[in-house]
Amino acid sequence: MRATVKDVAARAGVSPKTVSNVVNGLVPVSERTRAKVEAALAELDYVPNLSARGLRNGRTGVIALALPDLATPYSAELAHHVVEVAHEQGFGVQIEETGRDPGREFELVTKARSNLIDGLILNPVDLDESAIRVGGNLPPMVLLGEVSQRRVDQVGVDNVGAAREMTLALAGTGRRRIAVLGCVDRRSSATALVRTEGYRLALQDAGIPHDPALEIACDEWTPAGSAAALADFLARHELPDALFCFTDSLAIGALSVLAASGHRVPEEILVAGFDDVADGQYAVPALTTISVDKRAMAENALRLLTERMADRRREPVQLALPYKLVVRASTGAISGPGA
Amino acid sequence: MRATVKDVAARAGVSPKTVSNVVNGLVPVSERTRAKVEAALAELDYVPNLSARGLRNGRTGVIALALPDLATPYSAELAHHVVEVAHEQGFGVQIEETGRDPGREFELVTKARSNLIDGLILNPVDLDESAIRVGGNLPPMVLLGEVSQRRVDQVGVDNVGAAREMTLALAGTGRRRIAVLGCVDRRSSATALVRTEGYRLALQDAGIPHDPALEIACDEWTPAGSAAALADFLARHELPDALFCFTDSLAIGALSVLAASGHRVPEEILVAGFDDVADGQYAVPALTTISVDKRAMAENALRLLTERMADRRREPVQLALPYKLVVRASTGAISGPGA
DNA sequence: GCCGCCTATTACAACGATGTAATCTGTGTT
DNA sequence: AACACAGATTACATCGTTGTAATAGGCGGC
């Protein structure tokens, strides 16, 4: 059995509350008693019971991070940073996956373990609206992703702008048959929608007619899903000039299929991704992509979350972090709007 | 404010305990009162306070998963499965990263949040011993990784055997200058040690003299670390015949360097990895690797953990899961011991 | 030498849920 | 009609911690 404040108190010859005072350090304790208590703490190897503390204080020191699928490198990198930043601030992180079933997001936001966690960082799959369209009593919460609403704190990126910039950069090489991979058929992914929008805007900008056939659907945002979708596409259509994949994972699957079918990247077809995950940088050829500082995302998300925990009625804030077009070998030399 | 059993009880005109009975379903409740209570539950949108329940029951329904670095694809895939399996069984999962500082493992095993979690699944970095060399009072705990001790429940793989088999398969093509990448200098990684051991045994088996220069050190098990280490190696040595990387992430970094320096894989040099992560399958060329069923790892780890929670004095169990040598393009056609 | 004040410490209650043991209700038996 | 009994429901205490308010102790001032 673990020692409790009571045990420590008995051993040190003081009251439980004094032990608590020593442990928490908020109430002044005389040097003499502090020494006694600290000795007892060490001898009994005291560890506070966080359930009890959570019950008493109403805060547990644990936040939840909800994302579609932890196995996706992008999610994993993001989670890594959130865990790291949270830990630096003394928070534990409980991971929830929402990918399998769409109801899970809703459940998390409304009921769920709401009392074992002090707050929620949510990377939504579906249209963000679905999750946050909840009447009262939201837990302290920050959304990650596209900035598209004003009711909940959010840290995101201008996906439309980024997708547009990438598409324009591809078009800047003179290529005209620019395909996108990752458009979703069935249930809508917020991310897919906004990136598709950026792509279409860029085509307009560049005066390239929009060809719906070049929007390649792919429900599953993994290399496997991408490979299947692209192989299927190539069986029916001619090779496009350029391929903008909505995530690096999709692009990695695409590069694999292109290599296997003997198409040279970037000579025959440019390939670009989105997210800047580690494996994309080391893909063959290295992947051109949109990069966002994930550590900064985590830091900002946690900052907003702690602010929200401190003041639950502060006006919601939406942050759009800067992004960067990173050019690597998979597109040869292209240039963003700056050049 | 969230509703409590008391509120629900008042609304339903029953005692708090009856509400608890309805919620938990362990004690029989008459049809009439159950209906009343359920109505009240729904109206007040009752959510049990898990801190209180945890305090009372001594169990929180949350387990911790501790691993070196969540951003590593292998860890991420593993974590994904653990989260999924745990969720199916009604557990939440709290993630802890131990990579940054070695003391963290020890801290987790001994003190830490030990009362907000019911158990711990630990993927150790250092020699397993360090973490489990603890006197009494271990929390319910399962180790993931090399099976090398008998004091704590463990789910692992025969790393020595797998590394040996891979090395032999590479040698089976007639190649003699077989390098390994991932040996660690400074603090010892348990995994690196056992895989190195398997490699050396295979060289003996194959009658290939051991050349220490071909054991390429790489502390950081990421594509970036690997790329740096291999580039450095190539600047000083001739290209080896074959390269066995201790993880797929390392291999991905290696493929990138080899491609950039114009060396053809597998014609000039065979490359193999370990772990079978998704991005390895879609690397260019696709990566030969050792595959272990990560879902099965997660299932077994969770099974052992729940068994341990139920009976804290049962004899420790060590499971070695089967592995499979998966041959892909990065080694051309090689064959394992079976063929 | 007594009083008052400031500080360190204490007793007590409360956070919310639930196991235990006691009470209550209703049914069936003689 | 009285009694025993099973099942449903309840009161109470408890898990470990900490805020509140009351107490104890020490010191200076008059």
Which CATH number is A31's domain given? Answer: 1.10.260.40
CB proximity A26–strand D (7 Å threshold): yes
Tell me which residues of chain B, numbers 282 to 321, contact chain A at a CB-CB cutoff of 8 Å. 282-286
Q: Are residues B2 and B150 in the same domain?
A: no
Question: How confident is the model over A244-254, as a mean pLDDT?
Answer: 98
- Does A50 have pLDDT greater than 60? yes
What's the pLDDT score for residue A339? Answer: 45
Which residues lie across from B325 on neighbouring strands? Answer: B290
Same-domain status, B28 and B81: no
Domain identity same for B208 and B193: yes
Are residues B286 and B141 part of one domain? no
Token pair, residue A312, equals 């639950």
Q: B331 CB contacts (<8 Å, ≥6 apart)?
A: B169, B170, B173, B242, B266, B270, B271, B272, B288
Residue among A3, A327, A2, A311 at smallest CA distance from A165: A327
| Residue A7 confidence (pLDDT) above 90 | yes
Tell me, yes or no, if A115 comes closer than 8 A to chain B by beta carbon: yes
pLDDT at B229: 97
Please check whether residues B5 and B30 belong to one and the same domain.
yes
B279 vs A77: CB contact, 8 Å cut-off? no
Q: Kindly determine whether the C-beta of residue A33 is less than 7 Å away from any atom of nucleic acid strand C.
A: yes
Q: A78 with A226, same domain? A: no
Instruction: Work out the end-to-end distance of chain B between its first and last CA atoms, rounded to an integer number of angstroms.
Output: 67
Whether A60 sits with its Cβ under 7 A from any strand D atom: the answer reads no
- Interface check B70 vs A, CB under 8 A: yes
Q: Classify residue B195: in a domain, yes or no.
A: yes
Please give the tally of structural domains in chain B.
3
> For residue B112, what pLDDT is reported?
65
Digits of tens for pLDDT over chain B (339 positions)? 789 999 999 999 999 999 999 999 999 999 999 999 999 999 999 999 999 999 999 999 999 999 999 999 999 999 999 999 999 999 999 999 998 677 888 888 877 667 789 999 999 886 555 556 555 667 899 999 876 778 889 999 999 999 999 999 999 999 999 999 998 866 568 889 999 999 999 999 999 999 999 999 998 999 999 999 999 999 999 999 999 999 999 999 999 999 999 999 999 999 999 999 999 999 999 999 999 999 999 999 999 999 999 998 899 999 999 999 999 999 998 876 554
In a domain, B198, yes or no: yes
Spatial separation of the C-alpha atoms in residues B227 and B223, rounded to whole Å: 6
Nearest nucleotide (C1') to alpha carbon of A47: D16
Same domain, yes or no: A283 and A177: yes
pLDDT of residue A71: 96
Q: Domain for residue A47, yes or no?
A: no
Q: How many Cβ atoms from other residues are within 10 Å of residue B21's Cβ?
A: 18
Q: Is residue B52 part of a domain?
A: no
- Please report, for residues A145, A190, A306, B74, the alpha-carbon distance to residue A141 in angstroms, rounded to integers and kept in the order given: 13, 18, 9, 29
Chains A–B, number of C-beta pairs less than 8 Å apart:
182
- From residue A190, give the alpha-carbon distance in Å to each of A46, A198, A253, B142: 48, 13, 22, 39
Give the CA A25 to C1' D17 distance in Å: 14
* CATH code for position B90: 3.40.50.2300
pLDDT > 60? residue A302 = yes
Chain B residues 30 to 49 with C-beta below 7 Å from nucleic strand C:
46, 48-49
A56 CB inside 7 Å of strand C: yes
Q: Is residue A311 in a domain?
A: yes
Tokens encoding B251: 């291999």
Q: Is the pTM of this model over 0.85?
A: yes
Is B71 in the same domain as B1?
no
Strands in B134-235 per DSSP E: 141-146, 153-157, 178-183, 215-217
Q: Does B173 contact A at CB distance below 8 Å?
A: no
Distance from CA(A32) to C1'(C7), angstroms, rounded: 14
Based on the fold, state whether residues B14 and B131 are members of the same structural domain.
Answer: no
Protein residue closest to D16, using CA and C1': A52
Confidence band, pLDDT 50/70/90 cuts, at residue A312 = confident
Pair B284, B300 in one domain: no
Q: Distance between CA atoms of B258 and B269, rounded to whole angstroms?
A: 9
Is there a domain that residue A20 lies in? yes
What is the phi/psi pair of residue A323, to 5°?
Answer: -125, 170
Is the distance from CB of A259 to CB of B283 less than 8 angstroms? no
For residues A163 and A152, membership in a common domain is answered with: no
What is the DSSP code (8-state) at residue A68? S
Q: Would A164 be classed as within a structural domain? A: yes
CA-nearest of A227, A220, A167, A232 to A196 is A167
Write down the pLDDT at residue A209: 97
Interface check for B93 against chain A (CB to CB < 8 A): the answer is yes
User: Domain check: are B205 and B114 in the same one?
Assistant: no
Residue to mutate among A49, A62, A65, A70, with most B CBs inside 10 A, is: A70
Q: What range defines the domain where residue B16 resides? A: 1-39
Per the listing, tokens 């014609």 go with: B267
DSSP E strands: which ranges in chain B? 62-67, 92-97, 119-122, 141-146, 153-157, 178-183, 215-217, 242-245, 270-272, 289-292, 318-321, 323-326
- Please say if the pLDDT value at position A200 is more than 90: yes
Query: Is B277 a domain residue?
Result: yes
